[in-house]
Amino acid sequence: MELLIISIFVLGYAVIAFEHQLKINKAAGALLTGVLCWTVYVLFAPNKDIVSEELTHHLGNLSGILFFLMGAMTIVELIDAHDGFEVITSRITTTSKRKLLWIVSFLGFFLSAALDNLTTAIVMASVTRKLLGEKKERMFFIGMVVIAANAGGAWSPIGDVTTTMLWIGGQITSSNIILKLIGPSLVCMLAPLVALSFIMKGKVQKPAAGTSSAGTGLSTAFERNLVFFSGVSLLVLVPVFKTLTHLPPYMGILLALGILWVLTELIHHKKDEDEKDYLSVAQALRKIDVTSILFFLGILIAVSALESTHLLGRLAQLVNQKIGNQSLIALCIGLLSAIVDNVPIVAATMGMYDLKAFPPDSYLWEFIAYAAGTGGSILIIGSAAGVAVMGIEKIDFFWYLKKIGWLAALGYFAGAGAYMLQEHFLHL
C-alpha cells in the first residue's frame, strides 16, 4: 500500500512539474493525485470509518487555507476593477533607471506583505509595463519584482501562501514572524538590488504614447481611493482580528470581504446594471483564479494522505538522522522549492515535524518560512509570482536563470545568513 501511494504521489508530482510539456493543467494532476492517494489508503485499510474520519479532519484544516485564499483574491480583484492600483502608478515620475529600480523593488516588497506575492507580482508587472518601453531592460525589473515580492511575502502571515499555511497551522504567530523575518527578508531583497544597481544605468525609455492603459474609467477618483485604501486596510487588519478574537484567519478575511462587499454595493447603487455588475464582488468572484485554489486543494489532500499513513513522520526521522542540522534542513527546503512548488514542500514539512517537538515560533518553523518563501526566486518556475510574470512577459526560463538566478541565489543566502546571525547574537 505505502509503495503504491508513494508511486502515485511521485507520478502526480511529475505531471505537475512538467505541466507545460504535457499540456495538462497542474490543478488536474493535483486533484487526481490527492483523490487516488486516499483511494488506495481506504481500500487497503482494515477500518474504513477511521480513514473517512481522518480525511474529514484534514479537510477541515485545509478548508481554512482555501477560504482565506479565495477571500483575499476576491478583495484584490475588486480593488483592481476600481483601478485602485492607479493610486500607486500615478505617483511614480522618476526617469532614472536606478531610482525606478529601487522604487519598484521596495513597492513590491511592502505591497507583497500587505497583499500577497502572486498578486503583487502581477500588479508590479503591470506597473513596469506602464513605465518602461524597452522589453529587455524591463525584464530585469520584472526579475527584481519576483525577488522582492517573494522576500516581502515571507515575513508577513498573509504575504505568501506557505507563510499563511504555517500561520494557520499554528507553527508561527503573526507578530513573531514579522519581528523575526523582516530583517532577513529585507537583506534578501537588498543584496541583489544593490548588485543590479551597478548594471542599470541611464534614463528610462517610456512606452510609446497610447500603449499605456489608463484604467476602465468606470469608477470615480473618490471611489477608486476609497476601495483601494479600504481593501488594503482590511487585509492588513486580518492578523489583528485573529489576535484579538482567536478565530481562524479565514474568518477575518471573510469579514473583510463582507465589509468591502457592503461598501461597494452602497457606493454603486445608483449606477446602471452593466457598470454596477463590473464593479461588484460577484464579478470579482468570477475573475479569481479558481484553478490555483483547486491545485492547492489537490496537493494538500495528497500530502495529508502521506501524513495519515505516517510516511512523512518516518521521512522526518530519516532526514534528522542523515542531516540533523535544522539550518541545513531549512536551506535544503528553500533550494528544493526553486525546483518544485513550495506549497507541497511546506505541507509535507508541517506533517513531518510535530508541534510538540517543535513548538510554535521555534527556530525551525521561522527558518522554513523564510527559506520556502524566498528560495523559489532562484528559478522562474519556483514560485507562483515567477510563473505569473513568465506568462505576462514571455520570459525565457534560461534567460532568467542566467541573468536573474544568480542574483536571487545571492539574496537567498544573504538573507539566510542574516537570520542565523540574528538568532546567534540577538536571540530575538
Average pLDDT of the chain is 84
Residue 329 banded pLDDT, cuts 50, 70, 90: confident
Q: Read off the pLDDT of each residue in 304-320 and give the average, rounded to a whole number.
A: 74
Answer yes or no: are the C-beta atoms of 64 and 168 closer than 8 Å: yes
Cα gap 3→37, rounded to integer Å: 11
Cα gap 146→351, rounded to integer Å: 28
Q: Read off the pLDDT of each residue in 113-121 and give the average, rounded to a whole number.
A: 80
Q: Read off the pLDDT of each residue in 62-90 and give the average, rounded to a whole number.
A: 82
pLDDT value at 211 more than 50: no
Cα gap 8→33, rounded to integer Å: 6
Answer yes or no: are the C-beta atoms of 69 and 293 closer than 8 Å: yes
**What pLDDT is attached to residue 26?**
79
Q: 157-183 pLDDT, tens per residue?
A: 888 888 888 888 889 988 899 999 999
Query: How many C-beta atoms surround the C-beta of residue 279 within 10 A?
Result: 22
Stated pTM of the model: 0.73
Residue 149 banded pLDDT, cuts 50, 70, 90: very high
**What pLDDT is attached to residue 212?**
44
Cα gap 339→383, rounded to integer Å: 9
Query: How many C-beta atoms surround the C-beta of residue 310 within 10 A?
Result: 11
More confident call, 132 vs 33: 33
* Residue 183 amino acid letter: G
Query: How many C-beta atoms surround the C-beta of residue 99 within 10 A?
Result: 14
Calculate the CA dihedral of residues 7, 8, 13, 16 and round it to 10 degrees. Answer: 150
C-alpha cell, 170: 499554528
Answer yes or no: are the C-beta atoms of 393 and 121 closer than 8 Å: no
Q: Among 20-34, 60-74, 112-126, 305-319, which stretch is predicted with the lowest mean pLDDT?
A: 305-319
| Number of domains comprising the chain | 1
**What pLDDT is attached to residue 246?**
82
Answer yes or no: are the C-beta atoms of 70 and 288 closer than 8 Å: yes
**What pLDDT is attached to residue 391?**
66
**What pLDDT is attached to residue 148?**
95
Cα gap 32→379, rounded to integer Å: 26
Cβ contacts of residue 366 below 8 Å, gap of 6+?
Answer: 172, 176, 177, 180, 181, 419
DSSP string, 2-16: HHHHHHHHHHHHHHH
Cα gap 133→61, rounded to integer Å: 46
Cα gap 393→137, rounded to integer Å: 12
Cα gap 116→152, rounded to integer Å: 8
Q: Read off the pLDDT of each residue in 106-132 and give the average, rounded to a whole number.
A: 83
Cα gap 135→86, rounded to integer Å: 22
Q: Read off the pLDDT of each residue in 377-381 and give the average, rounded to a whole number.
A: 84
pLDDT value at 275 more than 60: yes
- Cell 502515485 belongs to residue: 8
pLDDT value at 188 more than 90: yes
Residue 193 banded pLDDT, cuts 50, 70, 90: very high
Q: Pick from 122, 83, 28, 80: which is nearest to 391 by CA?
A: 122
pLDDT value at 127 more than 90: no
What share of the chain in percent tops pLDDT 70? 94
DSSP string, 45-101: -S-HHHHHHHHHHHHHHHHHHHHHHHHHHHHHHHHHHTTTTHHHHTT----BHHHHH
Q: Which structural domain, as residue segments, surrounds residue 353?
A: 2-425
Cα gap 136→223, rounded to integer Å: 36
Cα gap 330→352, rounded to integer Å: 13
Query: How many C-beta atoms surround the C-beta of residue 95 within 10 A?
Result: 12
